[in-house]
A and B are shown apart, each in its own frame.
Chain A
Amino acid sequence: MLDKVKNVIVVLSGKGGVGKSTVSTQLALALRATGHKVGLLDIDLCGPSVPYLLGLEGRDIFQCDDGWVPIYTDESKTLAVMSIGFLLKNRTDPVIWRGPKKTMMIKQFLSDVKWDELDYLIIDTPPGTSDEHITVMECLREVPCNGAIIVTTPQGVALDDVRKEITFCKKTGIKLLGIVENMSGFVCPHCTECTNIFSSNGGAELANLAQVPHLGTLPIDPRVGVLAGSTASALDELPDSSTAQILRGIVQHLDALTAVPAIA
Chain B
Amino acid sequence: MQAPPPEHCPGVESEQAGRVSACAGCPNQSICSDPTKKLEDPGKALVAAAMKDVKHKLLILSGKGGVGKSTVTTLLTRYLARSCPDNNFGVLDIDICGPSQPRLLGALGENVHQSGSGWSPVGIDDNVCLMSIGFLLSSVDDAIIWRGPKKNGMIRQFLSEVDWGNLDLLLLDTPPGTSDEHLSVCTYLRDDSAPKDSLSAIIVTTPQEVALLDVRKEINFCRKQRIPILGVIENMSSFRCGHCGNSSDIFPAKTGGAAAMCAEMEVPLLGSLPLDPRVTRACDAGEDITAMKSETTDALAAICSKIMSSF
Given the known A-B contacts A17-B66, A93-B220, A163-B140, are A188 and B241 also in contact in the complex, defined by CB atoms under 8 Å? yes
In the complex, are the beta carbons of A96 and B100 less than 8 A apart? no
For B140, B149, B242, B284, the residue with the greatest tally of chain A CB atoms inside 10 Å of its CB is: B284
Smallest Cβ distance from A113 to chain B, in angstroms?
A: 22
Distance A131 CA – B142 CA, assembled complex (angstroms): 17
A100 to chain B: which residues have CB within 8 Å?
A: 148
Are the CB atoms of B98 and A18 closer together than 8 Å? Answer: no
CB–CB A46/B63 < 8 A: yes
The chain A residue sitting closest to B246, CB to CB, is A190
Cβ contacts under 8 Å, B220 to chain A: 92-94
Indicate if the CB atoms of A164 and B252 lie closer than 8 Å: no
Q: Does A178 contact B (CB under 8 A)?
A: no
Could you tell me which residues of chain B, from 200 to 244, have a CB within 8 Å of some CB in chain A?
206, 208-211, 213-214, 216-221, 224, 239, 241-244
Among A16, A165, A196, which residue has its beta carbon within 8 angstroms of that of B277? A196
Chain B residue contacts of A95, Cβ below 8 A: 178, 217
| Least CB distance, B221 to chain A, in whole angstroms | 4
Stretch at the interface among A72-80, A166-174, A230-238: A166-174
Check A199–B281 contact: CB distance below 8 A. yes
When the two chains form the complex, which single residue of A52, A186, A193 contacts B213, counting CB atoms closer than 8 Å? A52
Query: Is A49 touching B210 in the complex (CB atoms < 8 A)?
Result: yes
Most buried by B among A14, A47, A156: A47
Q: CB-CB contacts of A18-30 with B at 8 A, as 1s and 0s?
A: 1001000000000
Contact B151 A130 (CB under 8 A): yes
Say whether, besides A46-B63, A98-B148, A164-B143, A197 and B211 are in contact (CB < 8 Å).
no
A127 contacts chain B at the CB level, 8 A cutoff: yes
Q: Given A131-B147, A188-B248, A197-B280, A167 and B179 touching (CB < 8 A)?
A: no
Residues of B within 8 A of A53 (CB): 210
| Total count of chain B residues near the partner, CB < 8 A | 64
Q: A188-B243, A195-B242 are in contact. Are A98 and B183 (CB under 8 A)?
A: yes
- Please give, as numbers and ranges, the residues of chain B lying within 8 Å of A129 by CB-CB distance: 97, 143-146
Within 8 A of B (CB), among A44-93: 45-47, 49, 52-53, 91-93
Closest to A135 in B: B147
CB-based contact B250/A197 at 8 Å: yes
Q: How far is the CB of B208 from chain A (nearest CB, A)?
A: 7
Q: A81-122 interface mask toward B, CB cutoff 8 Å, 1 = contact, 0 = none?
A: 000000000011111111110110000000000000000000
* A contact residues around B246 at 8 Å (CB): 188, 190-191
A171 in contact with B239 (CB, 8 Å): no
Task: Out of A130, A172, A226, name the residue touching B146 (CB < 8 Å).
Answer: A130
Closest-by-CB residue of B relative to A198 is B280
| Chain A hits for B281, CB < 8 A | 199
Q: Is the CB of B210 within 8 A of A14?
A: no
Q: A49-B214, A127-B97, A129-B143 are in contact. Are A155 and B248 (CB under 8 A)?
A: no
Smallest CB-CB separation from A91: which chain B residue? Answer: B213
Q: B64 near A: Cβ within 8 Å?
A: yes
Interface pair B98/A14, CB less than 8 Å apart: yes
Cβ of A126 < 8 Å from any Cβ of B? yes
Q: Which residue of chain B is the closest to A127 with respect to CB atoms?
A: B65
* Total cross-chain contacts (CB, 8 A): 205
Chain B residues, Cβ within 8 Å of A196: 277
Q: Say if the beta carbon of B141 comes within 8 Å of chain A.
A: yes
**Residue in B closest to A161 when the chains form the complex, CB atoms:** B98
Whether B103 is near chain A, meaning CB under 8 Å from some CB there, is: yes
**Bound Cα distance from A95 to B140, whole angstroms:** 31
A228 in complex: contacting residue of B104, B210, B216, B280, CB < 8 Å: B210
Question: Which of B143, B149, B151 lies in contact with A165, CB distance below 8 A?
Answer: B143
The answer to whether A222 has its CB under 8 Å from any CB of chain B is yes
Bound-state Cα–Cα, A156 to B219, Å: 29
Query: Which chain A residue has the least Cβ–Cβ distance from B102?
Result: A160
Q: In the bound complex, do residue A190 and residue B218 qualify as a contact, i.e. CB atoms below 8 Å apart?
A: no
Do A46 and B217 have beta carbons less than 8 Å apart? yes
For the A-B complex with A47-B213, A157-B104, A198-B280 known, give 4 more contacts whose Cβ atoms are closer than 8 Å.
A91-B216, A168-B145, A188-B243, A195-B239
A residues at B contact (CB < 8 Å): 14-18, 21, 45-47, 49, 52-53, 91-100, 102-103, 126-131, 133-134, 153, 155-158, 160-161, 163-168, 171-172, 186, 188-191, 193, 195-199, 220, 222, 225-226, 228-229
30 A-B residue contacts at CB 8 Å? A14-B97, A14-B98, A18-B66, A21-B210, A47-B213, A53-B210, A91-B216, A92-B265, A102-B179, A127-B97, A127-B176, A129-B97, A131-B179, A133-B145, A157-B100, A157-B104, A157-B284, A164-B142, A171-B145, A188-B241, A190-B248, A193-B241, A193-B243, A198-B280, A199-B280, A222-B248, A225-B208, A226-B252, A228-B210, A229-B209
